[in-house]
C-alpha cells in the first residue's frame, strides 16, 4: 500500500525523499481514519445493537453489565486493534517507531481490558448481591482479591512492555521480593484467608447482629470486604473491624436469636423475704377473685384439703400439712399472666423460677421469649410486663426489696423522736 501511494506521488512529479515522507504521512492519516471508522461502527452499530437486544431480554444480569459500561469500554479496543495491525505499513523500515507505537497501543489495550474486567466484576458483584445467598456467603472480599491480582498482573505486563522484557522474566524476579510483598499486602492476605474461613464456617453474614466490645461494635454488619468489616451500630455510627479480627478474637453473633423467631427476656425482681407467709383463708378468698389464678386457687384448696384430711393433719398449726404461700401463689399468677400475653412465645423456654436468696431478698426470675425481635418494641414489651408485675406484688401481701435510702433513715429518726 505504501509503495502504491509513493509511486502515485512520484508520478505527479515530486522528488523521492519528499514523496516518501508525504506517502507515509498520507497512509498514516488513512489508518487513523480507518480506526475512527472502526470506533464509530463499534459505538453506533454493534453497541446500540447489543443495547437493543439486552433491553428485550427478561433477565437482569445483562442489564447490569450494560449499566456498568462493560461494552462501552470494550468498544475502545476497535480503533486500537486497527492501529496495531496496520501501524507497520506507513513506518516500514523504521523499526523503533513501529515498536514505540505498538508498545503504546498494547499498553492502551491492556488498560482498556483492565477497566472492562473491573466493570464486569462490579456488575457480577451487584448481580450476586441481588440473591439471598449473598447474605450468607458474601463474595466482595474475593472480588477485591481478584481485582488486586488483575491489576498486579496488568502492571507487570505494562512494565514488561516499557522495559522490553518478557513478563516471565519479571515474574521470576518477584520471588526475590516475596518478603517485601508479604509485608506490603499483609492485611490483604490476612483478610483474604479470614474471608475464606468466615464464609466456609458461616461465622458471619451481611445483616448479622454482632457484638464486639473491644472495637465498640454492637449492631448489624453492612459490608464484609477484603480487609474490613463494617458494622452499623444502634446509634447509626459505623465501626470498622479488621476482617482477620473476627477469626483471631471473640465476638457474639446474635443470628441464632434472629433465626429462632424469638428474643429472650431474662430479668428478675427481688422480694423482701420478711413478707413471705402462708396464705390465710381471707387471703385465699381474695386471690380467688383474681381472674388469671381463680381456677388455680380453687384447685389447690381442694388438693390441700384432701391431702391433709387423708393424712389426718392437725391444721391448728399452719406448719403441719400442705399450705399455700403468698410467694408460690404470686409465681403462679406471673406464669398465668405471661401465658395469656400473645407476644410471648409458648413454644420456647418458659420459666418463672426462684433463684438463690441473697441479702437483697428472694429473686423471682422471668425467663421467657418475646415473639417480637425488633429492639424498640421488644424493650416496650419487657417494660410493660415488669410495670404490671411490680404493681401487682402488693396484692399478694409481698413487698419488693429495696435498699434503704436517706428518706427511710429520716423517717426512722422522726419516729424515734
Where a domain ends, among 152, 186, 220? 186
Residue 202 and residue 153 share a domain: no
Residue 280 and residue 131 share a domain: no
pLDDT band at 203 (very low <50, low <70, confident <90, very high): confident
Residue 178 and residue 73 share a domain: yes
Residue 271 and residue 248 share a domain: no
| Number of domains the chain is built from | 3
Predicted pLDDT at 12: 59
CATH number of the structural domain spanning residue 355: 3.30.70.100
415 falls within a domain: no
Residue 69 and residue 29 share a domain: yes
Query: Where in the sequence is the domain holding 152, given as residue range(s)?
Result: 2-186
The mean-pLDDT minimum among 14-18, 120-124, 214-218, 293-297 falls in 14-18
Predicted pLDDT at 9: 59
The mean-pLDDT minimum among 97-101, 139-143, 195-199, 350-354 falls in 195-199
192 falls within a domain: no
> Order of strands across the sheet with 351-354?
263-271, 362-370, 351-354
For residue 386, pLDDT over 80 is answered with yes
Please tell me the distance from the alpha carbon of residue 191 to that of residue 225, in angstroms, as a whole number.
8
Residue 250 and residue 312 share a domain: no
Q: Of 2 and 21, which is predicted with more confidence?
A: 21
Residue 165 and residue 131 share a domain: yes
235 falls within a domain: yes
413 falls within a domain: no
167 falls within a domain: yes
213 falls within a domain: yes
Residue 267 and residue 240 share a domain: no
CATH number of the structural domain spanning residue 217: 2.30.30.60
- Widest CA span in the chain: 144
Residue 409 buriedness (CB in 10 A; 0-12 / 13-18 / 19+): exposed
Predicted pLDDT at 405: 64
Could you tell me which of 89, 96, 85 has the C-alpha nearest to residue 6?
Answer: 89
Where a domain ends, among 131, 155, 186? 186
Residue 98 buriedness (CB in 10 A; 0-12 / 13-18 / 19+): middle
The mean-pLDDT minimum among 17-31, 41-55, 124-138, 284-298 falls in 17-31
Please tell me the distance from the alpha carbon of residue 249 to that of residue 202, in angstroms, as a whole number.
16
Residue 340 and residue 364 share a domain: yes
329 neighbors 353 (Cβ within 8 angstroms): no
Phi, psi (degrees; rounded to nearest 5) at 240:
-105, 125
Residue 157 and residue 13 share a domain: yes
Residue 153 and residue 19 share a domain: yes
351 falls within a domain: yes
Residue 152 and residue 33 share a domain: yes
Where a domain ends, among 163, 186, 209? 186
171 falls within a domain: yes
Q: What is the percent of the chain with per-residue pLDDT over 90, rounded to a whole number?
A: 23
The mean-pLDDT minimum among 247-251, 323-327, 383-387 falls in 247-251
Amino acid at each position: 500500500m505504501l509503495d502504491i501511494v509513493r509511486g502515485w506521488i512520484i508520478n505527479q512529479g515530486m522528488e523521492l525523499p519528499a514523496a516518501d515522507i508525504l506517502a507515509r504521512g498520507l497512509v498514516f492519516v488513512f489508518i487513523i481514519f480507518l480506526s475512527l471508522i472502526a470506533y464509530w461502527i463499534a459505538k453506533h452499530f454493534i453497541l446500540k445493537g447489543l443495547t437493543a437486544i439486552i433491553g428485550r431480554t427478561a433477565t437482569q444480569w445483562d442489564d447490569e453489565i450494560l449499566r456498568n459500561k462493560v461494552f462501552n469500554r470494550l468498544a475502545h479496543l476497535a480503533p486500537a486493534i486497527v492501529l496495531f495491525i496496520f501501524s507497520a505499513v506507513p513506518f516500514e523500515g523504521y523499526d523503533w517507531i513501529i515498536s514505540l507505537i505498538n508498545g503504546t497501543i498494547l499498553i492502551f489495550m491492556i488498560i482498556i481490558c483492565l477497566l472492562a474486567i473491573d466493570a464486569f466484576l462490579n456488575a457480577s458483584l451487584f448481580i450476586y448481591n441481588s440473591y439471598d445467598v449473598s447474605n450468607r456467603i458474601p463474595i466482595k472480599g474475593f472480588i477485591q482479591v481478584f481485582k488486586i491480582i488483575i491489576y498486579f498482573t496488568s502492571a507487570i505486563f505494562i512494565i514488561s512492555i516499557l522495559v522490553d522484557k518478557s513478563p516471565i522474566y519479571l515474574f521470576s524476579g518477584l520471588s526475590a521480593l516475596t518478603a517485601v510483598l508479604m509485608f506490603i499486602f499483609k492485611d490483604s492476605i490476612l483478610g483474604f484467608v479470614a474471608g475464606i474461613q468466615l464464609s466456609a464456617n458461616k461465622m458471619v453474614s451481611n445483616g448479622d447482629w454482632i457484638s464486639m466490645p473491644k472495637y465498640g461494635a454492637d449492631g448489624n454488619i453492612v459490608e464484609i470486604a477484603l480487609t474490613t468489616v463494617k458494622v452499623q451500630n444502634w446509634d447509626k455510627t459505623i465501626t470498622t473491624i479488621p476482617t482477620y479480627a473476627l477469626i483471631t478474637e471473640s465476638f457474639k453473633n446474635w443470628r441464632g436469636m434472629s433465626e429462632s423467631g424469638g428474643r429472650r427476656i431474662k430479668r428478675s425482681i427481688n422480694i423482701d423475704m420478711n413478707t413471705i407467709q402462708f396464705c390465710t383463708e381471707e387471703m385465699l378468698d381474695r386471690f380467688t377473685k383474681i381472674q388469671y389464678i381463680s381456677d388455680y386457687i380453687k384447685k389447690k384448696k381442694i388438693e390441700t384439703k384432701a391431702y391433709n384430711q387423708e393424712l389426718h393433719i392437725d391444721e391448728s398449726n399452719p406448719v403441719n400439712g400442705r399450705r399455700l404461700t403468698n410467694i408460690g401463689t404470686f409465681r403462679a399468677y406471673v406464669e398465668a399472666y405471661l401465658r395469656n400475653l400473645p407476644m410471648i412465645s409458648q413454644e420456647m423456654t418458659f420459666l418463672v423460677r426462684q433463684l438463690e436468696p441473697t441479702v437483697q431478698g428472694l429473686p423471682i426470675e422471668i425467663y421467657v421469649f418475646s415473639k417480637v425481635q425488633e429492639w424498640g418494641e421488644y424493650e416496650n414489651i419487657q417494660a410493660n410486663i415488669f410495670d404490671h408485675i411490680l404493681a401487682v406484688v402488693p396484692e399478694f401481701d409481698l413487698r419488693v426489696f429495696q435498699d434503704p435510702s436517706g428518706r427511710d433513715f429520716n423517717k426512722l429518726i422522726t419516729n424515734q423522736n
